[in-house]
Amino acid sequence: MQIRAAVARAPDQPFEIVDCDIAEPGADEVLVRVKACGICHTDLAVKLQHIPVPLPKVLGHEGAGVVERVGPNVVGLAAGDAVLMSFGSCGGCAECQRGSPGYCNDFSNINMFGLRSKGSALRYRGAELSGHFFAQSAFATHTIATARNVVKVAPELPLATLAPLGCGIQTGAGAVLNTLAPPAGTTIAVFGAGAVGLAAVMAAKLAGCSAIIAVDLRKERLAAAREIGATHILDGRSDEVLNQITQITGRGAHFSLDTTGNPAAAALSVNCLRQRGCSAQVAAPPRGTRYPLEASVIVGRGLTVRGVVEGDAVPGVFIPQLVDLFRQGMLPVDKIVTFFPFDEINHAIDEMETGAVIKPVLLMD
Ligand SMILES: [Zn+2]
Ligand SMILES: [Zn+2]
């Protein structure tokens, strides 16, 4: 079957939308007609080779669409089902079995490298084209995903708005609700007010945090943070951020989250904590990045620094919860998404990088 897919060929080349062929779904797979796909920083990090995954490749890992066909071993999914796609996992390793698929032994092979037992599902001009990125490669009109990484949702939902639940929103909201789990009345500082940070702000509001401090370099993002629940917004360029957080919270924040991967910001997200505080680190900075953490601060205050992948979520459990929160108006992701036609993928990325939009979502039909 012929489809259209956006190919990342080289770091300095724009995405190119080409016609290619897609295979039939394997035994545990589904063929999904993609209606929309969010653009996440990991897509750009791979294209720019900050994460060294071989190119050319079809990226995209926040896909949403409708199931067209299912493989013979797939249960609980059928043609016509509306689905959101999330990250893949093996299902058999110890981490998957204990409910931590974000730490699957094969996470990198399955998600970054797009490992698929039958080889790539995509062919371009007769040759195999690397796909199955995050078990989906959803910068395309159709995709083969695995039954494990698609989540069925109610058909009347706005699929395009919800597409980013599969990665960015799950990452930010999950790091707060699943990992940090701040008790009501505690304080939190969120570094970086992009889609992940803003999802964390929404989640912190849901959790009942009394002070939700958003730190970013861009005014528009701080304004968005304020609109969706930040009680305080701080300009990350100021030398006073640490003092300001201490002033707002009394002795430092109970919790923090760094979404930036910027060494100074990440270190600040730890230094701004009070005794026994906990920081979640969710960014994926280039390999070799080191954070200048002060050991005596970590030890003396009894701090916890937790790395968190995909919000510690089990997508099939957590995404339906996020969908319900959206339906109740408690997770206003509609306030941070901007839609672009699929053909405008390169423009959408420019707008994301300049900060003109927070979460671009491509529309395939
Ligand atoms: Zn696994
Ligand atoms: Zn992502």
Q: How confident is the model at residue 76 (pLDDT cuts 50, 70, 90)?
A: very high
For 328-345, the pLDDT digits (tens) are 999 999 999 999 999 999
| pLDDT (mean) for 296-304 | 97
For 243-264, the pLDDT digits (tens) are 999 999 999 999 999 999 999 9
For 121-150, the pLDDT digits (tens) are 999 999 999 999 999 999 999 999 999 999
Strands of the chain (E only): list them: 2-8, 16-22, 29-38, 57-58, 63-70, 82-85, 122-124, 127-129, 142-146, 150-153, 187-191, 211-216, 232-235, 253-258, 273-281, 304-307, 337-341, 359-363
Q: Residue 52: CB partners within 8 Å, gap ≥ 6?
A: 287
Q: What's the CA gap between 208 and 192, in Å, rounded?
A: 20
Q: How confident is the model at residue 365 (pLDDT cuts 50, 70, 90)?
A: confident
Q: How confident is the model at residue 287 (pLDDT cuts 50, 70, 90)?
A: confident
What's the gap in Å between 146 CA and the centre of ligand 1? Answer: 13
**The pTM is what?**
0.97
DSSP element (H, E) containing 95: helix 94-97
Contact 30, 71 (CB under 8 A): yes
Tell me the two tokens of residue 304.
């916890």
Q: Which ligand gives the minimal distance to the CA of 92?
A: 1
- At residue 214, what are phi and psi to the nearest 5 degrees? -100, 135
Q: Which ligand gives the minimal distance to the CA of 107?
A: 1
What's the gap in Å between 185 CA and the centre of ligand 2? Answer: 30
For 168-221, the pLDDT digits (tens) are 999 999 999 999 999 999 999 999 999 999 999 999 999 999 999 999 999 999
Predicted confidence (pLDDT) at residue 228 exceeds the cutoff of 90: yes
The Cβ-side half-sphere exposure at 20, using a 13 Å CA radius, reads 27
DSSP element (H, E) containing 224: helix 219-228
For 24-70, the pLDDT digits (tens) are 999 999 999 999 999 999 999 999 999 989 999 999 999 999 999 99
Pairing label, strands 29-38, 359-363 = antiparallel
CB atoms within 5 A of ion ligand 1 belong to: 89-90, 93, 96, 104
What share of the chain has pLDDT > 90, as a percent? 97
The confidence score (pLDDT) of residue 283 equals 95
